[in-house]
Amino acid sequence: MNLDNIDIKILNILQRNSREPLKSIAQQCFISSPSASSRIQKLEKYIIKNYRLVIDYEKLGYQIKAFINVSLKSDNKKEFIHLVQDIPNVLEVDNITGNYDFILKVLFKDVHELEKFLIKLKRFGQTNTNIVFTTQVENRGMIHDESHFED
């Protein structure tokens, strides 16, 4: 799918607020509402994977955010992936380069829950945990400059 600057503008608007009213999107892009709707449907078919809520987990009692590096000690990748997929506290798992095989982004209510999880991970190999004090830039998506797509 070839994107033009209007498509990119729509993506930027939806990344900031996926519940932005269609009429507002159309006005910001200087197009009609039916045209905006058609473009959004095409973007949903080819580019947009889904829409998600951004939850303030601290208000739900999740005080510990951490990044855990994991180096697998043997060929137990499938078992490891199965474990982390089944634990809702694991927000993201990325296969990475370097001294570790994976990096996990996790949330727990307290250090005791985190410690129990780390004990489960130890059977797979070496771990290195970094607890987050504060988040300076929230996950915001990648904001595009519409001028890069001008003809």
pLDDT tens-digit readout, 84-128: 999 999 999 999 999 999 999 999 999 999 999 999 999 999 999
CA distances from 148 to 1, 6, 8 (A): 16, 11, 10
User: What global pTM score does this model have?
Assistant: 0.82
Sign of CA dihedral 52, 56, 59, 61: positive
